[in-house]
Amino acid sequence: MTSVLESLNQGLHAAFAQDARVYLIGEDLLDPYGGAFKVSRNLSTQYPDRVWTSPVSEAAIAGVGAGMALRGLRPVVELMFGDFSTLVADQLINSITKFPAMYNGAAQVPVVIRTPMGGRRGYGPTHSQTLEKLYLGVPGLRVLAPNTLSDPGDLLRRAILEQNDPVLFVENKVLYPKQVLDNAALADFEIQASTQDFAPTHTLRLKGAPRPALTLTAYGYMAELAREALTRLAFEHEIFCELVVPTQLAPLPAGGGLQPALQASLQHSGRLLTIEEGTYSLGWGAEQLARAAQHFGGRLQAARRVAAAEAPIPAARNLEDAALPTLEDIISAAREMV
Amino acid sequence: MSDDAALYTQLATIRRFEETVLDAFPKGAFYGTTHTYIGQEANAAGVLAHLHDGDLVFSNHRCHGHFLAYGGDARALFAELMGKATGVCGGIGGSQHLHWKNFYSNGVLGSTAPIAVGAALAEKRKGSQAVTVLFLGDGAMGEGVVYESLNIASLWGAPVLFVVENNHIAQTTPTELAMAGSLAGRFAAFNIPAVELDSSDAREIYAAAGQEFAQLRSTPGPRALILHTARFGPHSKGDDTRDPAFIEELRATRDPLTIHGARLEESERTAIEAEVDSAIAAAYAQAEADPLPEHAAYVKAGY
Ligand SMILES: Cc1ncc(C[n+]2csc(CCOP(=O)(O)OP(=O)(O)O)c2C)c(N)n1
Ligand SMILES: [Mg+2]
C-alpha cells in the first residue's frame, strides 16, 4: 500500500523523470529535509539542478514560477502552508491567471502551485486553514484536490505535464499519512469513476444497498469522513446515501451546470448534503447547492451544508475539534434531511 | 539612415504617438485609461536599441514608449487603446497590458519583477542567449515583491537588466515622500551592480545602456541602470498636480527631442518629423477604421 504522501512524492519523481522542463521551487526543499511535509523528498538529490530551495519569499517564487512557465518550462512551486497562499494571491490573480486571457491567447502559464491546507494538527489560526475557497472562481485557474480514491501522484504528474492552465493543487495535511485505497480496501463499495473535464470524480455507494435517499459530496480529506458517515448512516440509521467525490474544484461546467456525476446522483436521490473543511458561508458547498437548485428547482427536496465554523481555527484540541466539521456533524445533518 | 537619425525617429515616433493619445482622448476616441511617456522617450529608445533577437522586455503601466521602441506597431497600439480587434491583444489588455513577441507589460506595479526574473532564469536554463529587461518606476520600488525578486535574481544569477525610470513622482506623490534611502543603495544591498545616470540625452543613455548590456551578456548575474528622468505630461490624463511653471522648466531643459534633435541638420530633422507625423496619422486612421472584437466569442471562450 502507498500513502498519499508517498504517492505525491512518486508523482513528482515521475514528472521529473519524464520531462526535463519540470522544476521545483520552494522553501526548505533540500534533502534530507525534503520540504516541510516531505512531499519533495529525494528530488534535490536526484535532480540537484532542477530543485531550487528558495528564500522565504512566497510571492516571488510564485512569480518566478510564472515567468519560467511563460517561457516554456513546467515549474512546480511548493508553498509550505496553504495559509501563505495569501502572499501569492496577487501573482495568482493579477498575473498568472490573467496572462493567457489578457494577452489574447498568445501566452500560457502552465505552473502548478501545490500546497498543504487544513487543520486537525493543532497548528492554530494561521497554519490550519482551508483557504482554497478564496481562489475558486478565479477565471483561468484550475483547482485540484486529491483524495484516497484515486492516485494522487498521478493527478499531480498529469497536472504538471498535461495541463496548460495554471493549477492550484491543494493537499489536505491529514491526508498525507492515509493509504491510497485499493480494491480490497473498498470492497464494500460499488464505485463509479468518471472524468470531470480533466480530473477524476468517484461515486460510491454500499454494495447491495437500496436506492440512495441522499447524495453526499465532499473532496480531499472530508471525503474520508463522508465515506465513514455513509457506512454508519446505512448500518446505524438505515439511511442510504451516495457519495460523490470530485478532484477538480474549479472550473465547474460552463453555463451553471452541475458536474455530471453529481447531477446523475441527485437525479435519483433528490437531496444534497455538501461537506467541506472551509468556512460555512460563500464557499464550495454553497456553489454546488446553488447549481443543484438551479438545475433541479422544486425537485431538490433537501439541501444542507456541513462546513467549518466562521472563526479562526483555534490551537486547543477541543476547540479545534469544535470548529471543524466532524463525522458526527455529517451524520446528524444527514439524519435531519431524510 | 545614420544612427542619430534613427534614434531621432524613435524619439519622434513615441512623442507623436503619445501626443495623439492625449489629443484624441477627450474626443472620445479611446476608452479607459492611459499613461503617456512624454519626456522619457530617450530611456526606451536608448536602452532598447541594444536588444538582440530573442531578448525579453517586461514593462509597466507606462508602456507605450517601451512597446514602440521594442518595434511594436503604432496602429496595433492605437487599436488596442481603442478596443479594436486588431489591437496588440485584441482589445482585451488595453493601454497597460501588452504582449507581442517577447514583450510583456502589466499594470500592477512591481508584479512583473519576479516574473521577469523567472523568465530570465528559464532562458538561461534553456541555453538561449537571451537577456531580460525589466522597467520599473520609482513608485514601483515601494512594492515588497521587488526586493524579494532582487534577492533571488542576485542569488540565482538571473540575466536581468533592471531599469529604474525615476521621474521623481508616482502618480501625484513626490519620491521624497515615498522613498527612504537611495535607489543605488537598494541594488547595492543585493550585490547587484548599478549605474546611475541623470540625463535626457538619448545618446548618453544609449552609451550607458550599451555598457550594461555588454556586461550582462558576458558576465553572470543581474545589473541595474538607474535613469533619473522627467515626466512632462500628466500621470494619466489631465491629472497633473505639479506647478505648470515647473513643467515648463522641465520641457525647456530636459526635452530628449530638443537635446538629440540639435545633432541633426534642420532639414533632416524636419523631414523625419514630417515622416513620423504622417506615419502616426496613418496608423491612427487605420486603427479607427478597424473592426471591434467579437464579444459573443469572448464570453463563450471563458469558462
Ligand atoms: C500595485 C499597484 N498599486 C497602485 C497602482 C496605481 N498606480 C498606477 S501608476 C502609479 C504610480 C506609479 O509610479 P512609478 O512607478 O514611479 O511610475 P510612473 O507612473 O512615474 O511612470 C500608481 C500608484 C498600481 N497600478 N499598482
Ligand atoms: Mg515615477
For B143-187, write each residue's pLDDT tens digit.
999 999 999 999 999 999 999 999 999 999 999 999 999 999 999
Angle between helices B202-218 and B3-24 (to 10 degrees): 110
For B119-137, write each residue's pLDDT tens digit.
999 999 999 999 999 999 9
Q: pTM of the prediction?
A: 0.97
Q: What is the CATH number of the domain that holds B107?
A: 3.40.50.970
Whole-angstrom distance, CA of residue A193 vs CA of residue B94: 44
Number of structural domains chain B divides into: 1
Mapped onto helix, strand or coil, the DSSP state of residue B99 is strand
Cα of A299 vs centre of ligand 2, distance in Å, is 60
**Do the chains contact at A61 and B99, CB–CB below 8 Å?**
no
Assess whether the region A4-175 and the region A189-337 belong to the same CATH fold. Answer: yes
Contacts (Cβ under 8 Å, ≥6 apart) of B298? B92
Whole-angstrom distance, CA of residue B76 vs CA of residue B287: 7
- Predicted confidence at residue B81, as pLDDT, reads 98
pLDDT above 70 covers a percentage of chain A that reads: 100
Q: Tell me, what's the ipTM? A: 0.96
pLDDT above 70 covers a percentage of chain B that reads: 99
Cα of B175 vs centre of ligand 2, distance in Å, is 8
Ligand 1 atom with minimal separation from the B140 CA: 15
Mapped onto helix, strand or coil, the DSSP state of residue A304 is strand
Whole-angstrom distance, CA of residue A182 vs CA of residue A2: 9
In a domain, B216, yes or no: yes
CB-nearest to A67 from B90, B118, B145 is B118
For B95-118, write each residue's pLDDT tens digit.
999 999 999 999 999 999 999 999
- Which chain A residues touch B106 with a CB distance below 8 Å? 94-95, 98
Q: In CATH, which superfamily holds the domain spanning A4-175?
A: Thiamin diphosphate (ThDP)-binding fold, Pyr/PP domains (3.40.50.970)
In a domain, B23, yes or no: yes
Cell of B168: 521623481
Burial class (CB in 10 A: 0-12, 13-18, 19+), B168: middle
Q: Using a 6 Å cutoff on CB, does residue B116 contact ligand 1?
A: no
Whole-angstrom distance, CA of residue B35 vs CA of residue B286: 22
User: Chain centroid to CA A19: how far?
Assistant: 25
Domain ranges of chain A: 4-175, 189-337
In a domain, B303, yes or no: no
Contacts (Cβ under 8 Å, ≥6 apart) of A20? A50
In a domain, B146, yes or no: yes
Interface residues from chain A to B (CB-CB < 8 Å): 23, 52, 54-55, 57, 59-73, 75, 90-91, 94-95, 98-99, 101-104, 106-107, 139-140, 251-252, 254
First-to-final CA distance of chain B: 50
Q: Name the band, by pLDDT with cuts 50, 70 and 90, for residue B4.
A: very high
* Residue span of the structural domain in which B232 resides: 3-292
Is A47 in contact with A16 (CB distance < 8 Å)? Answer: yes
CATH topology of domain A189-337: Rossmann fold (3.40.50)
- Predicted confidence at residue A280, as pLDDT, reads 98
